[in-house]
Amino acid sequence: MGRYLIIGGSSGIGRAATDLILERGEAVTVMDLREPHRPDVPYIPIDVADPAKVRAAMAGLSVPLNGWLHTAGISVSAPIEEMADADIARQVAVNLTGMCLAAKYVSPHLAEGAAVVLVASELAFVGSTRGGIVYSATKGGVVSLARSLAVAWRHRRIRVNALCPGATRTPMIEASWTHERDPEAAAREDAAGAVLSRVAAPEEIARAAWFLLSEESSFVDGHALVADGGAIIW
């Protein structure tokens, strides 16, 4: 049985990945601000933007990990000229600095030959059209972090990849739709942005994450896997 850590496992893609990995007969520990939806899953509270809380959360791990999936992230959709300074700082702190902190403190708990998946976004590779400039910038940093960790941890045979979803029906994107003047139009716009003309279900992205965590991707390292329904090809 493999043992996996999911940071951000209580909602969205992380929640779907928790269910999927458990269905595969593996063990999962969830770290999040909120408790997971399943009472049978070990839970350790964490605020990835707080170094002390990240350090304390990682100290609660008692067994070597075969894999780590990091899905925690936030987005504030607004033109950068109108975005509050605190919102800029918080996005960087959660989406990028928090991931660096997690990597620092989870490193001793990763078994030799472990697999790591850091969730970025298709927006790491294209310009955002709906005010997600800071979010996009942090996700570009996540891709670079994954590649650099793949090199740094190569002697431990730890594979590190970035997963870059397109629009996915999660609480975060649904919240962004509600802040638009016409939420239904915003949802249709996100769907139309993909060649497949729809947004992804969290379970679809979870399957891509499991591919990168599993031996099915044993020769994939330092890669950014885009799962966006074809959004960035046109």
| Residues forming the active site | 135
> Beta-carbon neighbour count of residue 124 at 10 Å?
21
226 CB-near residues (< 8 Å, 6+ apart):
122, 125, 164, 166, 232
Render 135-192 in DSSP notation, one character per residue: HHHHHHHHHHHHHHHHHHTGGGT-EEEEEEE-SB-SHHHHHHHHTSSSHHHHHHHHHH
- Which region holds residue 157: left if phi is over 0, alpha if psi is between -120 and 50, else beta? left
| Amino acid found at 4 | Y
Taken in order 24, 67, 204, 16, the sign of the CA dihedral is positive
> Beta-carbon neighbour count of residue 138 at 10 Å?
26
3-state secondary structure of 73: coil
3-state secondary structure of 56: helix
